[in-house]
Copies of this chain bind each other. A is one copy, B any other.
Amino acid sequence: MSGSARRSMPSIEVVAKEAGVSTATAGRALGGYGSVSGKSREAVLAAAERLGYRANSLARSMITGLTHTLGVLVPDIENPFFSRALRGIADVAHERGWEVLLVNTDEDLSLERKALGVLTERRVDGLVVAPTDTADRDALQDVIDAGIPVVLLDRRVPGLDADTVGIDNRAAAKDATERLLALGHRSIALLTGGDEKLRPRLARPGLRGVERLGATTVGARAAGYRDALVEQGIEPRPELVSAEGFRREDAAAATTRLLGLPDPPTAILALDSLLALGVLQALRRLGRRCPADVSLVGFDDADWAEAISPPLSVVAQPVYELGAEAGRLLLDRVQGTDRRPVHRRLPTRFVERESARSVRTPAGTSP
CB of A50 within 8 Å of the partner chain: no
CB of A196 within 8 Å of the partner chain: no
User: Which residues on the B side are within 8 Å of A363 (C-beta)?
Assistant: none
Whether the Cβ atoms of B304 and A4 lie closer than 8 Å is no
* Nearest chain B residue, comparing its CB with the CB of A252: B307
CB of A197 within 8 Å of the partner chain: no
CB of A263 within 8 Å of the partner chain: no
Q: Of the candidates B5, B101, B121, B309, which one forms a contact with A284 in the assembled complex, judged by CB atoms under 8 Å apart?
A: B309
Decide yes or no: A77 and B86 within 8 Å by CB, A147-B4, A303-B277, A333-B4 being known contacts.
yes
Q: Which of A81-118 contact B (CB under 8 A)?
A: 83-84, 86-87, 90-91, 94, 99-104, 117-118
Interface string of A49-92 (1 = CB under 8 A from B): 00010111111011001010100000011101001101100110
CB of A362 within 8 Å of the partner chain: no
Whether the Cβ atoms of B99 and A338 lie closer than 8 Å is no
* Nearest chain B residue, comparing its CB with the CB of A62: B58
CB of A7 within 8 Å of the partner chain: yes
CB of A236 within 8 Å of the partner chain: no
CB of A120 within 8 Å of the partner chain: yes
User: Which residues on the B side are within 8 Å of A277 (C-beta)?
Assistant: 303-304, 307
- Which 10 A-B residue pairs are closest in the complex by CB-CB distance? A3-B336, A6-B147, A7-B147, A281-B307, A277-B307, A304-B304, A83-B83, A57-B122, A308-B308, A57-B121
- Give 28 pairs: A residue, B residue, CB < 8 Å, sorted on A: A3-B335, A4-B149, A4-B334, A4-B337, A6-B65, A7-B145, A7-B147, A9-B147, A54-B117, A54-B146, A56-B121, A57-B123, A58-B58, A58-B67, A77-B90, A78-B84, A80-B80, A80-B83, A83-B83, A86-B102, A99-B103, A99-B122, A100-B101, A102-B102, A248-B303, A274-B303, A280-B307, A284-B307
Interface residues of A, Cβ cutoff 8 Å to B: 1-9, 52, 54-59, 61-62, 65, 67, 69, 76-78, 80, 83-84, 86-87, 90-91, 94, 99-104, 117-118, 120-123, 142, 145-147, 149, 248, 274, 277-278, 280-281, 284, 302-304, 306-309, 333-338
Q: A57-B122, A94-B103, A309-B309 are in contact. List 17 more A-B contacts (CB 8 A).
A: A4-B337, A6-B65, A7-B145, A8-B147, A57-B121, A58-B61, A58-B62, A58-B122, A62-B62, A78-B83, A80-B83, A87-B104, A99-B118, A100-B103, A278-B307, A280-B309, A281-B307
